Amino acid sequence: MKDVLHIYTRVSTAAQEDGASLDTQKDIGIAKSKELGMTHKVWNEGAASSHHEDLLNRPVLSQLLGEIESGSIKHLFVFNNDRLSRNDITQQTVKIALQRHDVVLYTKDGRFDLNNPQDKLFKGLLDGIAEYDNAVRAERSRLGKLAQVKKGFWYGAPPPYGYKLVDKKLTIHPEESKWVKEIFKWCLSGKSNIWIKSQLDKKGVLARRGGLFSEGSINALTRNTHYIGNYNWTDKKSGETVFCQCPAIVDETVWNEVQEKRKQIAARKGQNNRTKRFYLLRNLMHCGDCGSQMSGRIKESKNERHYYCPSKSRDWKKGAIPQDQKWKRGKVGNHGCTMTRSLNIPITDKFVWDLVVDTVSNSSTLKEGFKNEVLKSKYAGDEENATQLRNQKIKTDRLMKEIKQVQSSIGDVETNNLLKKYDEVVYARIASNLDDELKSKKDELEQTRLKTKELGNQKKWLDWVAKYADRVIGLNELKENDRQEYLEGVLDRIEVRLNTETNDHHLKIKFKMGLVGDGIEYADPKIKSKGYTVVEGDTDAELVLPYAQTQQMHKDARTSGRWDKEVKKKTK
């Protein structure tokens, strides 16, 4: 019975055949079997990359090794030495199996008996050459990819949702981009990810991989800077980060506002009932000791309506406080903060609202032509704001084009350097100049983006002014959501501290403008007709909630059932 020559064939990828197609390898193997007077059996791996390979992604080679270990294979042919593997560990695994079972290895270049010292040495040399060749090829591929990315080409992963590839560059996908805009629009209006997912599901909108959108994928989409026309790509080996550009789908001011809303949601992560209850001051209140944003809790069954600092309870949940330590009011070791007493929600809301209404009602700034006079001296008007935003967008687009051009030049220079078209001194000078130019453009772009964000915040303020600035009378008639919008427009934040000796809560209420104690200064106090100027006041107002008074107010309210009546009225 004739011996069998087992022929193993493989190419690196489906698109690249390393100079030898599967059919070529098979034909040469069959010719070798005839030359040796053997029959043959072909083991075809097909396209299998040699990059980061192991036996798990080479099923045919794994099966072949199983046959070798069983002793049923004595003669093996591969086109050349690296067909089996360029990976060192996989090479050694194959080599040991061939030696242990006295398998003779044939290639197009000759015959190797791996139990023969000379053949073993020669095989080792060929293995080393194959490994070196693979390393050179990988490095060449990496540098080529880096150069292509710098010229604006996509780096190879599936494109983000909303885009498609045309000539290896990101272009806007007409249908998907509509839903990207819709998702950002929903986010901007305050819709939750759960609600957005339900709308996408109802309309049959599928994510990039064909399945339904998840809350996580929606959250990731809204963080993606691709939609404002840029992203960073980092080469894993060198750590070099390339600033890349693509067509924008979403306006940058919209993207910035969505990021602000995401920050607010992140600050509330893990809080109980964060979407079920209305809290007038929760978005504004911060613990003055640890800096945490204050949380809210309403439980009618236990008559609980409290603002409180959540830092210690979160530390317990995260396991930051040892389990063997019992819960204690206040600090446990180095954990928690001094905010050990909560604030009654209805009482705190009333005190803060009354102070704000009183401040606004007595503000000379708001009384004396705020929109037409003071506003002009502090901020651009609506029309100028819109003009500045347009100018910043034009500047951003110009800078991004210039950055793209510099990066393309850097890619060309690096390519020419690899081709030995420069001497070292010339290359170093050109590369240094281009790197300096790129840094300068990136710095300028960052400043432009900060200005755009500032203008976006200014627009929000202008919208508030247009709606509320003239409204000094009738503020108490506003509904709760309008009250919240009003407060978040006129106030920057509220810092809360506890006096641990008296148990009084001290609130520092920070206004966005100097409305506290502002006034009018006449040019001539005796002749008021000569005109006046509005003198800006302070931005901070102090408010104390005395422990004894608030406790009595809470007791009276419970006795009368006033809080319960208000809650029932709100839930109708």
Q: Which DSSP string corresponds to 365-387? A: HHHTTIIIIIHHHHS--HHHHHH
Q: Would you state the pLDDT for residue 88?
A: 66
For the chain, give the mean pLDDT: 78
Structural domain contains residue 347: no
On whether both 338 and 447 belong to a single domain, the answer is no
- Evaluate if residue 266 carries a pLDDT over 60: yes
On whether both 79 and 224 belong to a single domain, the answer is no
Structural domain contains residue 358: no
97-101, 254-258, 505-509 — which one is most confidently predicted on average?
505-509
Lowest mean pLDDT among 98-112, 198-212, 310-324: 310-324
Among 431, 374, 437, which Cα is nearest to 402's?
Answer: 437
Residue after which a domain boundary falls, among 453, 471, 489: 471
Query: What is the distance between the alpha carbons of residues 311 and 509, in angstroms, rounded to a whole number?
Result: 21
Structural domain contains residue 287: no
Q: Where does residue 389 rank: exposed (0-12), middle (13-18), buried (19+ CB within 10 A)?
A: buried
On whether both 118 and 233 belong to a single domain, the answer is no
Q: Would you state the pLDDT for residue 506?
A: 95
At 299, the pLDDT band (50, 70, 90 cuts) reads confident
Structural domain contains residue 516: yes
Structural domain contains residue 380: yes
Instruction: Report the number of distinct structural domains present in the chain.
Output: 4
On whether both 458 and 496 belong to a single domain, the answer is no
320-349 confidence digits (pLDDT tens): 455 555 545 555 444 558 888 899 999 999
Residue after which a domain boundary falls, among 148, 175, 195: 148
Structural domain contains residue 450: yes
Mean pLDDT throughout 296-304?
81
- Evaluate if residue 401 carries a pLDDT over 50: yes
What Rg do the C-alpha atoms of the chain give, in angstroms? 36
Residues ≥6 apart with Cβ < 8 Å to 344: 305, 306, 550, 553, 554
On whether both 310 and 372 belong to a single domain, the answer is no
At 570, the pLDDT band (50, 70, 90 cuts) reads very low
Q: Would you state the pLDDT for residue 323?
A: 53
Residue with the larger pLDDT of the pair 19 and 162: 162
Residue with the larger pLDDT of the pair 52 and 527: 527
Q: Would you state the pLDDT for residue 528?
A: 61
426-462 confidence digits (pLDDT tens): 888 888 888 888 888 877 887 877 777 766 666 666 5
At 486, the pLDDT band (50, 70, 90 cuts) reads confident
On whether both 410 and 333 belong to a single domain, the answer is no
Whole-number percent of the chain with pLDDT over 90: 19
Lowest mean pLDDT among 47-61, 236-250, 284-298, 538-552: 47-61
How do beta strands 285-287 and 491-498 pair? parallel
Instruction: Tell me the CATH number at 155.
Output: 3.90.1750.20
Q: Would you state the pLDDT for residue 568?
A: 43
Q: Would you state the pLDDT for residue 273?
A: 41
- Evaluate if residue 268 carries a pLDDT over 60: no
Long-range contacts, stretch 88-91, CB < 8 angstroms, 24+ apart: 88/127, 88/131, 89/54, 90/53, 90/54, 90/55, 90/58, 91/127, 91/130, 91/131
On whether both 29 and 141 belong to a single domain, the answer is yes
- Evaluate if residue 292 carries a pLDDT over 90: no
24-79 confidence digits (pLDDT tens): 889 999 999 999 999 999 999 887 655 545 666 778 888 888 888 888 999 999 88
- Evaluate if residue 5 carries a pLDDT over 60: yes
Lowest mean pLDDT among 137-141, 401-405, 475-479, 544-548: 137-141
Structural domain range at position 368: 364-471
Query: What is the distance between the alpha carbons of residues 572 and 568, in angstroms, rounded to a whole number?
Result: 6
In this prediction the pTM is 0.46
Residue with the larger pLDDT of the pair 96 and 247: 247
77-91 confidence digits (pLDDT tens): 988 766 666 666 777
Q: Would you state the pLDDT for residue 11?
A: 82
On whether both 390 and 486 belong to a single domain, the answer is no
115-162 confidence digits (pLDDT tens): 666 555 545 655 655 565 666 566 677 777 777 887 788 887 889 999
Q: Would you state the pLDDT for residue 49?
A: 58
Structural domain contains residue 298: no
Amino acid at 544: V
Structural domain contains residue 285: no
Q: Would you state the pLDDT for residue 498?
A: 93
On whether both 255 and 329 belong to a single domain, the answer is no
On whether both 170 and 201 belong to a single domain, the answer is yes
Q: Would you state the pLDDT for residue 374?
A: 46
Lowest mean pLDDT among 271-275, 281-285, 548-552: 271-275
On whether both 523 and 558 belong to a single domain, the answer is yes
Give me the phi and psi of 283, to 5 degrees please: -70, -15
On whether both 370 and 518 belong to a single domain, the answer is no
Residue after which a domain boundary falls, among 411, 444, 471: 471
Q: Would you state the pLDDT for residue 455?
A: 66
104-113, 424-433, 542-551 — which one is most confidently predicted on average?
542-551
DSSP string, 230-282: EEEEE-TTT--EEEEE----S-HHHHHHHHHHHHHHHHTTT-TTTTTS--SST
At 395, the pLDDT band (50, 70, 90 cuts) reads confident
